[in-house]
């Protein structure tokens, strides 16, 4: 298959996971960054300034458009490197290794914001939530990874107490419509959800911004107890001998809290549509860049969903009554 036919086939959203318009925006956004990085690496390798004009010397087997495309296809489908473009596997691997960090450093798109601003840190998310007056939804997720070799130090750190497998744990934050705002805090699977976010500095953010509120699950009970006016967790289950009315009230309160929090589960489901986040088979050292790159693409897609405002039920006077 020629490069022309391969490019035409792989630009289909079923392979690369993004629309052709979105792909064009990514090429325009990242091409200059890739070129600057290449020139910087060449400068370090030479140890001196360029002796020939730009463009001299051997040409790249894959131009940046093809490099970005094979990276997207690999992230979306998990196809083997040797199956892409019909060229050497090492060339594809090197292209993915060069392009994946560019996707990871993009950050997350701000919904309903056309200035190009992006959220990159937890502090950015809390600042946006306070300014926009939105209620955050926070939830953790685990991705199975390859287990380390026997005898390697820290081997048990990745064994999840919940899944009983080697996993890496991440945390997802979305708004009330399931639009991804942030996904990070990559930690070994043995670490608790709440501990992972505390090490990321979420408690300090709640103290600095007392107007920000959030919906969480039972795994963040400690944070909910520490910030009862800002964080809503599922209600505690009543005792077995509690009155029937109290048990019914608990079920209804739990159902309502779950319906408010379910949108972050939908955001996690969007991430799971990309093959590496279903079961990651690559080196664990590259998981963070892979996860952040996929999350930035998912945020681009979810941010395009318009904001839905609930209709007001307030009674409005149609006309003034004559006195």
CATH, residue 128: 3.30.420
Query: Are 269 and 133 in a shared domain?
Result: yes
| Model confidence band, residue 215 (pLDDT cutoffs 50, 70, 90) | very high
Query: Are 204 and 285 in a shared domain?
Result: yes
Q: How far apart are CA 278 and CA 269, in angstroms?
A: 10
Judge whether 151 lies within some domain. Answer: yes
- The total domain count for the chain is 2
Query: Are 121 and 228 in a shared domain?
Result: yes
Query: Are 58 and 122 in a shared domain?
Result: no
Judge whether 311 lies within some domain. Answer: no
Looking at 47, 77, 104, the residue that finishes a domain is 104
pTM: 0.85
229-287: pLDDT as tens digits = 999 999 888 888 888 888 899 899 889 988 889 999 999 999 999 999 999 988 888 99
Query: Are 119 and 219 in a shared domain?
Result: yes
Q: How far apart are CA 197 and CA 200, in angstroms?
A: 5
Average pLDDT value over all residues in the chain: 85
Judge whether 145 lies within some domain. Answer: yes
Judge whether 240 lies within some domain. Answer: no
Q: For residue 170, give its domain range.
A: 110-234+262-303
Query: Are 100 and 125 in a shared domain?
Result: no
Query: Are 129 and 272 in a shared domain?
Result: yes
| Model confidence band, residue 58 (pLDDT cutoffs 50, 70, 90) | low
Judge whether 275 lies within some domain. Answer: yes
Query: Are 269 and 199 in a shared domain?
Result: yes
| Model confidence band, residue 1 (pLDDT cutoffs 50, 70, 90) | low
Is residue 233 within 8 Å of residue 224, measured between CB atoms?
yes
Query: Are 11 and 155 in a shared domain?
Result: no
Query: Are 282 and 205 in a shared domain?
Result: yes
Q: Could you give the 3-state DSSP secondary structure of residue 173? A: strand
The total number of residues written for the chain in this structure: 323
Query: Are 65 and 201 in a shared domain?
Result: no
238: which residues sit within 8 A by CB, 6+ positions away?
Answer: 246, 247, 250
Q: What Cα–Cα distance (Å) separates residue 39 from each residue in 91, 101, 180?
A: 18, 16, 34
Judge whether 313 lies within some domain. Answer: no
Judge whether 32 lies within some domain. Answer: yes
Q: What pLDDT score does 238 carry?
A: 87
Query: Are 62 and 157 in a shared domain?
Result: no
91-110: pLDDT as tens digits = 888 889 889 999 999 999 99
Q: Which residue has the higher pLDDT, 48 or 14?
A: 14
Long-range contacts made by residues 161-169, C-beta under 8 angstroms, separation at least 24?
A: 161/190, 163/189, 165/189, 167/142, 167/143, 168/142, 168/143, 168/280, 168/284, 168/287, 169/140, 169/141, 169/142, 169/193, 169/196
Helix (H) or strand (E) holding 287: helix 287-303
């Amino acid at each position: 298959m020629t490069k022309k036919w391969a490019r035409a086939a792989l630009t289909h959203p079923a392979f690369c996971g993004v629309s052709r318009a979105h792909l064009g925006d990514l090429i325009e956004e990242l091409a200059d960054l890739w070129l600057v990085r290449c020139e910087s690496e060449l400068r370090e390798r030479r140890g001196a300034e360029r002796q020939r004009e730009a463009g001299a010397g051997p040409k790249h087997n894959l131009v940046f458009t093809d490099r970005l495309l094979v990276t997207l296809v690999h992230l979306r489908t998990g196809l083997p490197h040797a199956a892409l473009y019909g060229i050497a596997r090492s060339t594809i691997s090197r292209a993915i290794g060069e392009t994946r960090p560019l996707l990871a450093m993009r950050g997350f798109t701000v919904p309903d914001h056309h200035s190009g601003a992006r959220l990159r840190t937890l502090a950015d998310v809390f600042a946006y939530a306070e300014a926009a007056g939105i209620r955050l939804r926070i939830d953790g997720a685990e991705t199975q990874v390859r287990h380390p070799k026997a005898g390697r130090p820290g081997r048990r750190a990745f064994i999840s107490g919940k899944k009983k497998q080697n996993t890496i744990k991440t945390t997802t934050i979305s708004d009330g419509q399931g639009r991804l705002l942030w996904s990070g805090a990559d930690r070994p699977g043995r670490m608790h959800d709440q501990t992972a976010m505390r090490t990321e500095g979420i408690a300090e953010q709640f103290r600095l911004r007392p107007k920000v509120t959030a919906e969480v699950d039972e795994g963040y009970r400690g944070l909910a107890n520490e910030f009862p006016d800002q964080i809503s967790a599922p209600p505690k289950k009543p005792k077995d001998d509690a009155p029937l009315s109290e048990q019914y009230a608990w079920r209804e309160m739990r159902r309502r809290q779950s319906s408010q929090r379910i949108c972050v589960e939908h955001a996690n489901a969007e991430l799971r549509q990309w093959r590496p986040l279903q079961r990651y088979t690559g080196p664990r050292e590259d998981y963070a860049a892979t996860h952040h790159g996929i999350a930035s693409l998912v945020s681009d897609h979810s941010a395009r969903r318009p904001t839905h405002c609930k209709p007001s039920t307030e009674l409005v006077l149609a006309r003034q009554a004559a006195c």
